Amino acid sequence: MGLDAERARRVSAAGRERDTKHMSGAAPKAALCVRNLRKAYKDVVAVDGLDLEVRWGECFGLLGPNGAGKTTTIEICEGLTAADSGDVEVLGLLWNAHATELRQRLGIQLQETQLSEKLTVMETVRLFRSFFRRGPEPSEVIALVQLGEKRKSRVGSLSGGQKQRLALACALVGDPDFLFLDEPTTGLDPQARRQLWDLIEQFKLAGRTILMTTHYMDEAERLCDRVAIMDHGKAIAVGTPRELIASIGVEQMVEFSAGGAAQALDVSALGRIEGVHEVRTENGTVRMQVTELHQAVPALLDELDRQGVPLTELRTHSASLEDVFVILTGRHLRDE
């Protein structure tokens, strides 16, 4: 990890120098500025008046369920989709005026690209490297994404996680100032996800600006400095994960099930317990937002005892971005 982080820093050293240059003088304030963005497909409004600002050197996450407009938004920022209206400024440049320069300075990983299966890892990275004016050696990038041993293997023989890391290598091969990652870990197993998270964290340490989309709240909490929660093409909340969680005014979530005895439960009595803010029942499971866990749980147990309802399951967890989403929209992130 230490060695890799060092390599990541070296690979992007040139990028950081440019970034600092941008920040002094007439550099734009934000790495990405999106104002009042709108995009509709035939009968669906994908993006509906979105405003965003990604600061230099931060990892910004678009978090939301499928169909929230995340991919449309990121593809408009990548210059792959034309917006119906609104302004997009990337690295202080506009797509219709500076496309060629922007392409050189952006690293892009799309959601469902299948790279040619008959090429090897090395051939693929070398192909992408040839499009950029400058950047690290292909072998360096391959080592960075930990595919060194696979560099002569055909892409078709790689696992899902390895393919995703190869896609990341292709995004990094031009030494980008700005990295776009569209659902980088969707469909991967937990170990492959953690491996990819480690890599993305290294690039953060190296001072790169990142815009990523995800529908995993744990991914957003771990990787993103700031998050915009998206729903129906709008950003319904923006802030650091900590701020967003704090904004819902609860620290802990308590969930319990009462099995067959759930019908007899008097839910309104639970709401009167001190420190309990809101009680919801869903498929026999009761969810409560709680501020003082150490007082609320004993009080809950007493109340259930008094009502004569036996517990079959009891869980508590710190409030997460998932809870923020549920409280803001009344739905779960992965409902749809």
Partner 1 sequence: MSSTEWADHPLAQLTLVRFREFWREPEAIFWVFIFPVLLAAGLGLAFRNRPPDVLGIAAVTPELARSLRQEKLLDVEQLSAPAAEEALRTGKVALLAAPAPGGAVVYRYDDTNPEGRTARMLADGAIQRAAGRADPVPSSDRLMREPGSRYIDFLVPGLLGMNLMGSAIWGMGFAIVDARRKKLMKRLIATPMPRHYYLLSFVLARLLLLVVEVGVLLGFGAWVFQVPVRGSLLDLALLCVLGSLAFSALGLLIASRAQTIEAASGLMNTVMMPMWIVSGVFFSAQRFPGALQPIIRALPLTAVIDALRAHMLQGAGLAQVVPQLGVLGVWLLVCFTLALKLFRWR
Q: Which residues bind partner 1 (CB under 8 A)?
A: 78-80, 100, 103-104, 106, 108, 110, 112-116, 118-119, 123, 126-133, 170, 174
Residue closer to partner 1, measured from CB, 90 or 326? 90
| Phi/psi of residue 305, nearest 5 degrees | -60, -45
In sequence order, which residues have a C-beta less than 8 Å from that of residue 180 and are 6 or more positions away?
A: 74, 77, 78, 106, 107, 108, 109, 171, 210, 211, 212
∠27-49-23 over CA atoms, to 5°?
A: 10
> At its nearest, how many Å lie between partner 1 and the CB of residue 153?
13
Nearer to partner 1, 105 or 204 (CB): 105
Q: How far is the CB of 38 from partner 1 (least distance, A)?
A: 20
Closest to partner 1 by CB, 174 vs 184, is 174
3-state DSSP assignment of residue 258: coil
The secondary structure of 60-87 as a DSSP string is: EEEE--TTSSHHHHHHHHTTSS--SEEE
User: Which has the closest alpha carbon to 247: 305, 188, 328?
Assistant: 328
Burial 62-98 (b: 16+ CB within 10 A, else e): bbbbebbbbbbbbbbbbbebebeebebbbbeeebeeb
Nearer to partner 1, 105 or 208 (CB): 105
Residue 131 half-sphere exposure toward CB, CA atoms < 13 A = 19
Q: How far is the CB of 211 from partner 1 (least distance, A)?
A: 14
How far apart are CB 99 and partner 1 at their closest, in Å? 9
* Range list of β-strands (E), 73-206: 85-90, 106-109, 178-182
* Nearest approach, Cβ of residue 113 and partner 1 (Å): 4
Nearer to partner 1 (CB atom), residue 132 or residue 197? 132
C-beta of 115 vs 244, nearer to partner 1: 115
Residue 17 CB, shortest distance to partner 1, in Å, is 20
